Amino acid sequence: MVPDQPFVVILSGPALRRTMTRLASQVLEAAHDPGQLLLLGIPSRGVPLAKVLAEELGRLAGQVVEAGSLDPTFHRDDLRTVPTRLPQATVLPVPVDGREVVLVDDVLFTGRTARAALDALLTWG
């Protein structure tokens, strides 16, 4: 860390773009129908990642890939033990029924948020 900078650059812009292209390629390989993909970012930093990934998927697939957000706050099992989280908006640009949903977050540690997001997703369809 540089003393005058409060952050560390992990990936440069071009390296991040390559990483997103690789990730998009892997998602496309696993998808049954790219037109049925729905990327849902987990607030807060998963939302912009989902948008960028959806754009890259759309570029590679040659069709629109929808992106939105899914807030799992009220589905967490640790609400009593962690500081209060302010709920964020859930934005579903299309119904989830019949879609291949990809949850996008910026970090994976214990899997608690992913589990809560899956529970939240089940309430939508």
Note whether residue 33 is domain-resident. yes
123 vs 86, residue with greater confidence: 123
**Sequence-ordered alpha helix ranges (H) in 62-125:** 112-122
Note whether residue 63 is domain-resident. yes
Q: How much is the pLDDT for 4?
A: 73
Note whether residue 56 is domain-resident. yes
Note whether residue 62 is domain-resident. yes
Where residue 6 falls among pLDDT bands split at 50, 70, 90?
A: confident
- Which of 72, 114, 108, 109 has the alpha carbon at shortest distance from 89? 72
The arrangement of strands across the sheet holding 66-69 comes to: 66-69, 37-41, 100-104
- Is the per-residue pLDDT at 5 higher than 80? no
Segment 41-53 shows an average pLDDT of 96
CATH number of the domain at 96, please: 3.40.50.2020
How many independent structural domains does the chain possess? 1
Task: Tell whether omega for the bond before 69 is within 30 degrees of 0, i.e. cis.
Answer: no
Note whether residue 7 is domain-resident. no
- Domain extent, residue 80, equals 15-122
Note whether residue 50 is domain-resident. yes
pTM of the predicted model as reported, rounded to 2 decimal places: 0.88
Of the listed ranges 8-12, 27-31, 53-57, 59-63, the one predicted with least confidence? 8-12
Note whether residue 95 is domain-resident. yes
Residue 28, both tokens: 């496309």
- Is the per-residue pLDDT at 24 higher than 80? yes
Note whether residue 90 is domain-resident. yes
Q: How much is the pLDDT for 3?
A: 65
Give CA–CA dist 4/76, Å, rounded.
37
Q: What is the pLDDT of residues 55-81, one digit of tens each?
A: 999 999 999 999 999 999 999 888 778
